[in-house]
Structure 1
Amino acid sequence: MNKGKCDISGWLVRRASWHAWAVLVAVLGACAAHTVRVTSDGGMDNAIVVRAARTWLTGGSPYADPHFLYLPSAVLAAAPQALLPVAALRLLVPVTVTAFLAGGWACALRLHGVPLRSRLAVLGPAALCAGFAPFGHLVLLGNWTVTAALALPAALLLAGRGRWVAAGAVLGAAVALKPLLAPMALLFVLARRPGALAAMLLVPAAASGAAALLMPDPAGFVTRTLPFLLRGDDSFVRLYEASPGAVLPRLGVPAVLAASLALAAAAAGVGAACLRWRRGEPGPLRLTETAAGLMLSAFLVSRPSYDHYLLVVVPPLLAGLPYAGSVARRPWFWLALVPQLPGVSWPYLEPQTRRAARDCATLSVLALTVARHNGAGRTRKGPGGVVAPRREQGSGTSRVPWRAGRVYRAR
C-alpha cells in the first residue's frame, strides 16, 4: 500500500482536539459578529425578501420589486421575519446563515462517512470561512442560497442511504424557497427514481400554487420575474454576475459568442455528469460529483449567477477529500479556488465592480475540472487508495466504516 496516499486520509479522519474546535468557533463567530456589526438589517439580500413579505402583509405585490426573484412560497416563508424587529434580524440572520452552512458541511461529511469529530470536520468550515471569499459574502448578504447549501448535501445524504423520495422532498422544499436546485431533477432522471422526481416537482408546485392564490397578482412571478431573468438587463445585477455570458461581453467578447461558449460548456458538463453516473460505481463520490457537475453546468448559463452559488457544490466536493479518487484530490480543484482568497489584490481587478471576472474564472475552471474528472471514467477508489467493497460505498443503507478507522486509516 502506498503510505503517502494513506497518510492524508488517516490524518484527516482522526479525532480533532478541543483546541481545534475552539479555533473553529472563534472563526465562525467572528464572521457572524462582523456581519452583525456592519449591517443594519441582517444582510442586503435577505432584506429584499423580508421587504417583499412586508409589502405582501400590507396588501401590496411582492413582485413590485424587480430584485425579488423568488417563488410565491418564499414570501410566506419570509413572513415571520417581517414580523420581527430589525434589531432582531440584525442578530439572527447572520447566525442562522452560519448555522445553515455548518449544517450543510455536517451532512456532506456524513454522506462520505467522515466522523463529525474528525479533523476534516473542523478544518473544512474554518478554511472556507477564512480562505474562501464567497463564504463571507454569503453571510454578509444573508442570501437564501444558504438554503440550497444545506439542502443539497442533506438530499444526497438521504439518497446515499436509499431514501430517494425523501431526498426529492428536501430538494423540492429548497426549490420552493429559491429555485437554485432545479437542475437536480436530472439526477433523479439518471437514477431512474420517478418517485423522487415527482416529490421534487410536486412540493414546490403545491407550495407556490397555494401561496400564489394569496398574492394580489398570482401570476407575478411569471409576468414580472421571469422576463427580468430572461433579459438579464439590470445594470446593477450585471456587475456581479459570474457566468461567462455576463462577464465575457464586458471584456470585449460579442454577446452572442459569449452565450454560445457558455452554453457549449454547460452542455459538455451535463454530458460528463451523465457519464459519471453511468460509469461510476454506487457510492458517495458518484452522487456528489454527478450533482456538482449538473449544478456547475447550470451556473455557467444561469442569469444571474453569483460567487456564493459556489458554496452549494464546493463543501460536498471538499468533504470527499479523504477519498483518493475524488475531484478534491486534483490540483486544478485547488487552483480554481485561488482567485477567491480574501485580501489578495489582483491586477486590474481591484475595484469591487470587477470582482465578477475573478468569480467567472473560479466558476469556469472548477466546472472544467469537475467535467474532466467526471468524463474520465476512471475507477473511483476508497480512502487511502484502497478500492472499497461495494457495500462500503454507500450504495444502499450501509456506510463507509470511517468510525472504526481500521479499514483505511494509515499506520
Structure 2
Amino acid sequence: MFLRRFEPRTGRTTAEVVNFALWPLAVMTVIHRVVVRAVNGAYTDDYAPVYQAALRFLNREDVYTANFNSVDPHYLYPPSGTLLMAPIAILDPEKSRWLFILVNAIAVIAALYLLLKMFGLALDSVAAPILLFAAFSTETVSNTLVFTNINGLVLLGEVAFLFLLLRRRDMWSGAAIGLTFAVKPILAPLLLLPLVRGQWKVFVTAAGIPLVLTAIAWPLAADPWAFVEHTLPYLMESRDYFNSAIVGNGTYYGLPIALIWALRLGFIAMVAVSLWLLYRYCRHDELFFVTTASGVLMAGSFLIGSLGQLYYSMLLFPLIMTVVLRNSVLRNWPAWLAIYGVFAADSWISNRFLEEGRAAEYLKGTMGWSLLLIVVFAVLTNRYLTAKREGRLDRGIDPDFLVTGTTPDRTSVDA
C-alpha cells in the first residue's frame, strides 16, 4: 500500500497513452538540442559576427566592414537591428551565446504555444507534445540553435503577428512584425494579409517601430552609411552558395539564365493563382485563409527570391499546423513528402554515391519548397474546377463532404 503512492499513472485512453509517451520524448529532445547540440556548436557560427558587431557598436567603432569575398557568415543587420542586438555584448562571448541560445529556444516554445491557441488546441491535448517533439526534431529548429541565429525570435514575431491579426489587435500585430523588420525584412511578404483584409492600423506600428529604432540607432552608430553603401548592395545580390532558392542552386549547377527565370516565373504564377483562390473563396474562413496564405507567401519568397536558406522553413510552421483543419491542403502524401524535404534533419551526403548524395543534399530544400507550392496550387485549383463543374462556386470551393461533414462514397468515386 505504501508503494502505491509512487506508482506512475497508467494511461486509460489513447490520448493519455500518447501524452505519457510523447511528453518525456519531447522534453528530452528540447534539452538535448539546447544543452548538448547547440552548446557544442558547429563549424558554421552565425553568432560570432553578430556579437562582434554589437561589441563594436557599443565601443563606437565601425560595424559594416565585412569582406563579402569569403563564404563565412557575415554581419548583415541594419543599424536598427544592431541597436536591438547591442545588449548581447555586455556579457562575455560564451555566456552571451548560451543566453542567446536559451532565448531562442524559449521563443520557439512560446511560438508553438501560440500556434496551439490559434488552432483551439489545449496544452493537455495530444497535439502539444507532438508539436514540441516534431518542431525540435527538425533541421530548421536544430540548426537555428546550433548556428545560434535569431530565427527563433523571428518565428515568435511571425506567429504573434498572425495570432493578433486574427483577433483584430492591429496595432499590436504590427508591433510584433515591426520588431522583426528592425532586424531583417524576411516577413515582409506577410504584410499582404492585413492589406487585403483592410487592417490598416497594422502598418502604423509595422513601419513605425523600425523607423523609430533606425532614428535612434543612426546617430549612435559609427558608420551607419556603410550599411547603405557596403552591405545593402550585397543583400540585393543572389549568391550561389548556401542558397536553396531557384536562382542560387540554378547558378550553382550552371543552369541557363533563361531557364532560371522560366522556373521563377512559373512559380510566381502558381503563387499568384493560389493566393487569388484563397482570397476569392476562402477569406471568410479566417484561420484557414491567414495560415495557408502565410505559408504560400513565405515558401514562395524562399524559393523565388534572391536568398533561401533551409532553416528559414521554420516560418512555415503556421501552414503545417493547418493539417488539423478539415479543409487543409496538406492532407495528402505529396505534401508530406515536401515537408520531409524542408524539415528533415537527415543528411544525404553519401560516401558511396558522392555526386548523387551531394545533389540530393543541396537540392532537398529547393525541391521541398517547390513541391509544397505545387501541392497547394494543385489542391486549390482542383477544388475550384470541381466546384465550378458542379455549379456551387457561390458556396465556396470546399468539397461538400468537408462542409457538411459527411463522408463521400468511395465506391462510386473510385468507379
Fold match, TM over 0.5? Answer: yes
Q: Work out whether residues 104 and 154 of structure 1, in 8 Å CA contact, stay in contact via their aligned partners in 2.
A: yes
Residues 93 and 204 of structure 1: CA distance in aligned 2, closer, same or farther (over 3 Å): same
Q: Distance in 1 between matches of 2:234 and 2:263?
A: 22
Match of 2:196 in 1: 190
- Report Cα offsets for 1:81-132 as digits up to 9, x if no partner: 11111231342222222221111111112111111221111112212322x3
Q: 1 CA distance for matches of 2:97 and 2:372?
A: 34
Aligned 8 A contact 2:348 2:360 in 1: no
1:313-358 deviation line (CA, Å, top 9, x unaligned): 1x2122222212112323222010233433353653545x973311
State yes or no: 1:249 paired with 2:273: no
Residues 309 and 343 from structure 1, CA distance in 2 versus in 1: closer, same or farther, beyond 3 angstroms? closer
Does the 8 Å contact 1:239/1:356 carry over to 2?
Answer: no
Question: Secondary structure at 1:69's aligned position in 2?
Answer: coil
Residue from 264, 268, 271 that aligns with 1:269: 271
- The partner residue of 2:93 within 86, 96, 101 is 86
Where structure 2 has 5 or more consecutive residues not aligned to the other structure, the ranges are 1-12, 69-73, 385-395, 406-415
C-alpha displacement of 1:308: 0.8
Choose which of 219, 222, 225 in structure 1 pairs with 2:228.
222
- Verify the 8 A CA contact 2:165 2:194 in the aligned structure 1: no
Tell me: CA distance 1:302–1:34, structure 2 relative to 1, closer, same or farther (3 Å). Answer: farther
In structure 1, the residue matched to 2:313 is 310
| Partner of residue 48, structure 1 | 49
Seen in structure 2, the aligned counterparts of structure 1 residues 344 and 355 have a Cα distance that, compared at 3 Å, is closer
Deviation of 1:17 after TM superposition, in Å, equals 3.0
Q: Equivalent residue of 2:336, what SS?
A: helix
**1:256–1:198 CA distance, 2 compared to 1 (3 A):** farther
Matches of 1:206 and 1:85 in 2, distance apart? 29
**TM norm structure 1:** 0.81
Following the alignment from structure 2 to structure 1, what is the Cα–Cα distance between the partners of residues 15 and 287? Answer: 16
Inter-partner Cα distance in structure 1 for 2:99 and 2:200: 38
Distance 1:275-1:15 versus aligned 2 partners, 3 A rule: farther
Tell me if the contact between 1:124 and 1:318 (Cα under 8 Å) persists in the aligned partners: no
Per mean C-alpha deviation after superposition, the further-off stretch among 16-25 and 358-367 is 16-25
2:210 corresponds to 1:204: yes
C-alpha contact (below 8 Å) 1:61/1:217 kept by paired residues: yes
The answer to whether the 8 A contact 2:271-2:297 is kept is yes
Structure 1 128/331 Cα, relative in aligned 2: closer, same or farther at 3 Å? same
Kept after mapping to 2: 8 A contact 1:318/1:328: yes
CA shift digits 1:49-69 (9 cap, x unpaired): 221111222222222125222
Residue 117 of structure 1: which of 124, 144, 148 is its match? 124
Q: Residues 274 and 71 (structure 1 numbering): CA distance in 2 closer, same or farther, change over 3 Å?
A: farther
2:348, 2:307 → 1: CA distance? 25
User: How much identity, in percent, do the aligned residues show?
Assistant: 22
1:361 counterpart (367, 379, 398) = 367
What is the rounded CA distance, in whole Å, between the counterparts of 1:293 and 1:228 in structure 2? 26
What is the CA RMSD across the aligned residues, in angstroms? 2.8
Deviations for 1:7-43, whole angstroms, at most 9, x for unmatched residues? xxxx9988963442222110111111223442289x7
Letter in 1 for 2:259: L
Greater Cα radius of gyration, structure 1 or 2: 2
CA contact (8 A) 2:109 2:132 kept: yes
Work out whether residues 270 and 373 of structure 2, in 8 Å CA contact, stay in contact via their aligned partners in 1. no
Sort the Cα spacing of 1:60 and 1:374 in 2 relative to 1 into closer, same or farther, 3 A: farther
